[in-house]
């Protein structure tokens, strides 16, 4: 694979060319492209490139995904959309005589909140009687994380990031309450696979031999996909009635006029800079990402840890057709480089060159709630992009007072003058405005 002229190119081995031609000529691919559910793919003349390919290989050009994200960062709503897309693609392909060789969640990316399938070489001609080759992978990377959050109330992100192949059925079965295991779907898709995994671990040779003899009629294959889709489509996350920040855009420490001033400040910045790719750190429900996008930003990647707020951000993006992708991130423990040689899955800050950053009501959470030195916190925020907005919230603000209520105030250097000095070492202030009666101040900066 290589990149040229903003596009992604991939060489295709001889044994895969016929299957790819079958896909590109199919009605399935045409329908998927029409609804932007699969990445753009075309054969190209490799003679136009200086790269030397073996004679039996072909070259294809793919459309570009604006930002790469991983399933351990997706809120429940996005993981569910990705799972349903995978099943829909499988069903359409099977009806036209094709199947998928795997079921990796990493084969799906998001443009805004809409999933897109990116690995067209996963498609191959269907073989009569074949079983679903990717069923166990689908269970680990899609089904089990969704079921864990829906039936048990445990979010999948930490477990998934700790095991990049997903969540084992045996591990999930241990935490599902016994009464939930009596469900037909849970018995068939979680409990039974867990037992088979344990049996296979005890006698791998016999399990492999038994699996090689299994035949699955095509109508049963399709029925399995349909049943799974119906089940997953009805799953909803089991979370507390109200999360900490999910209603922050409605219930906060400043009034309507102050909120409007903050919104207008964001719009002025984005109208002036027009950042192509914006990162909204602590995006909450996506209110200010929406303002940024409406004012001239191209796309926004929203980062937050509150699952209720992210659910509302997904809803906002869907209802308003926003180019916003909300992702789960703990700012004190952001996604690192992982996988083979630490480079297979890139760290969150290394996947794109952001053009702008919004850091609204974030700094005090880092400096006071999490004890990050003020200068270090400012440096980290400025590093994200060449320009952006940082909000400074003083100690007199009710939110900070709440943070300090049950602890000693050891933050002698947390004040506006020190913050401005920290920012001045790295950037120049283009605009500043106090936007609340508690003297919250917004700073639009350009990195120097």
Give the number of C-alpha atoms closer than 13 A to the C-alpha of residue 202, restricted to the C-beta side.
6
For the cut 90, the answer to whether the pLDDT of residue 330 exceeds it is: yes
Which H or E element spans position 290?
Answer: helix 287-295
Which H or E element spans position 304?
Answer: strand 299-304
For the cut 60, the answer to whether the pLDDT of residue 238 exceeds it is: yes
Query: Mean pLDDT across the chain, nearest whole number?
Result: 91
- What pLDDT is stored for residue 241 in this prediction? 41
Max avg pLDDT among 12-16, 52-56, 304-308? 304-308
Give the number of C-alpha atoms closer than 13 A to the C-alpha of residue 17, restricted to the C-beta side.
12
For the cut 80, the answer to whether the pLDDT of residue 18 exceeds it is: yes
Which residue has better confidence, 125 or 198? Answer: 125
How would residue 438 be classed by pLDDT, with cut points 50, 70 and 90?
A: confident
- What pLDDT is stored for residue 314 in this prediction? 97
- What pLDDT is stored for residue 160 in this prediction? 95
| Plot region of 132 (φ>0 → left; ψ -120 to 50 → alpha; else → beta) | beta
Q: What is the pTM of this model?
A: 0.92
Rounded Cα distance, 50 and 266, in Å: 45
What's the sign of the alpha-carbon dihedral 377, 373, 345, 350?
Answer: positive
- What pLDDT is stored for residue 283 in this prediction? 97
Number of residues written out for the chain? 448
- What pLDDT is stored for residue 7 in this prediction? 82
- What pLDDT is stored for residue 242 in this prediction? 45
Rounded Cα distance, 189 and 338, in Å: 29
For the cut 80, the answer to whether the pLDDT of residue 435 exceeds it is: yes
User: Tell me: the pLDDT tens digits for 304-324?
Assistant: 999 999 999 999 999 999 999
Hey, is 14 helix, strand or coil? helix
Rounded alpha-carbon distances, angstroms, from residue 249 to 7, 25, 244, 253, 312: 38, 48, 12, 10, 10
User: Tell me: the pLDDT tens digits for 176-232?
Assistant: 998 888 899 999 999 998 888 777 666 666 656 555 567 789 999 999 999 999 999
Nearest to 391 by CA among 242, 252, 251: 252
For the cut 90, the answer to whether the pLDDT of residue 122 exceeds it is: yes
Rounded alpha-carbon distances, angstroms, from residue 274 to 277, 299, 426: 9, 10, 21
- What pLDDT is stored for residue 208 in this prediction? 61
Rounded Cα distance, 372 and 381, in Å: 12
User: Tell me: the pLDDT tens digits for 365-385?
Assistant: 999 999 999 999 999 999 999
Which residue has better confidence, 247 or 123? Answer: 123
How would residue 253 be classed by pLDDT, with cut points 50, 70 and 90?
A: low
CB atoms within 10 A of CB 136: 17
Averaged pLDDT, 82-99: 96
Which H or E element spans position 442?
Answer: strand 441-447
- Give the DSSP per-residue string, 410-439: --TT-SHHHHHHHHHTTEEEEEEEE-STT-
For the cut 90, the answer to whether the pLDDT of residue 249 exceeds it is: no
- Give the DSSP per-residue string, 21-78: HHHHTSHHHHHHHHTT-B--EEEE-GGGSS----TT-EEEEEPPPSS---GGGS-HHH
φ/ψ of 300, rounded to 5, equals -130, 135
Rounded Cα distance, 142 and 90, in Å: 14
- What pLDDT is stored for residue 50 in this prediction? 61
Please give the sequence-ordered ranges of beta strands (E in DSSP) within 89-208, or none if there are none: 98-100, 108-111, 114-117, 123-125
Which residue has better confidence, 247 or 324? Answer: 324
Rounded Cα distance, 26 and 372, in Å: 55
């Amino acid at each position: 694979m290589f990149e040229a002229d903003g596009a992604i190119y991939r060489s295709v081995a001889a044994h895969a060319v016929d299957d790819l031609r079958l896909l590109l000529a199919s009605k399935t691919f045409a329908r998927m492209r029409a609804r932007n559910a699969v990445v753009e793919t075309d054969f190209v003349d490799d003679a136009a490139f200086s790269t030397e390919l073996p004679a039996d290989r072909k070259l294809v050009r793919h459309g570009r995904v604006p930002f790469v994200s991983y399933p351990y960062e997706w809120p429940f709503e996005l993981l569910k959309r990705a799972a349903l897309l995978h099943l829909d693609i499988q069903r359409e392909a099977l009806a036209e005589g094709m199947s998928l060789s795997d079921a990796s969640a990493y084969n799906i990316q998001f443009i805004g909140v809409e999933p897109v399938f990116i690995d067209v070489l996963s498609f191959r001609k269907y073989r009569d009687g074949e079983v679903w080759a990717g069923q166990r992978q689908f269970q680990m990377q899609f089904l089990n994380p969704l079921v864990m959050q829906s039936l048990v109330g445990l979010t999948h992100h930490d477990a998934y990031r700790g095991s990049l192949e997903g969540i084992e059925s045996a591990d999930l079965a241990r935490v599902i309450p016994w009464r939930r295991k009596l469900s037909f779907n849970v018995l068939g898709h979680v409990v039974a696979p867990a037992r088979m995994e344990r049996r296979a671990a005890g006698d791998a040779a016999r399990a492999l031999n038994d699996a090689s003899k299994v035949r699955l009629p095509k109508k049963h294959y399709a029925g399995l996909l349909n049943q799974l889709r119906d089940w997953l489509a009805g799953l909803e996350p089991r979370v507390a009635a109200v999360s900490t920040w999910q209603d922050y855009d409605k219930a906060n420490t400043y009034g309507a006029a102050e909120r409007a001033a903050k919104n207008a400040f964001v719009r002025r910045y984005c109208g002036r800079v027009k950042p192509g790719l914006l990162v909204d750190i602590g995006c909450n429900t996506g209110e200010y990402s929406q303002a940024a996008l409406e004012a001239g930003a191209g796309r926004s990647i929203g980062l937050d840890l509150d699952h209720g707020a992210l659910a509302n951000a997904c809803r906002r993006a869907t209802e308003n057709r926003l180019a916003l992708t909300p992702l789960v991130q703990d700012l004190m423990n952001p996604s690192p480089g992982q996988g083979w040689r630490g480079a297979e899955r890139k760290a969150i800050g290394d996947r794109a060159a952001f053009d702008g950053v919004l850091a609204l009501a974030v700094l005090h959470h880092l400096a006071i709630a999490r004890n990050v030195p003020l200068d270090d916190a400012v440096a980290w925020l400025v590093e994200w992009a060449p320009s952006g907005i940082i909000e400074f919230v003083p100690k007199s603000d009710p939110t900070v007072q709440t943070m300090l209520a049950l602890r000693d105030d050891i933050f002698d250097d947390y004040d506006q003058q020190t913050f401005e000095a920290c920012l001045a070492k790295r950037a120049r202030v283009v605009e500043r405005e106090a936007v609340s009666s508690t003297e919250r101040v917004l700073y639009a900066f350009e990195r120097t």
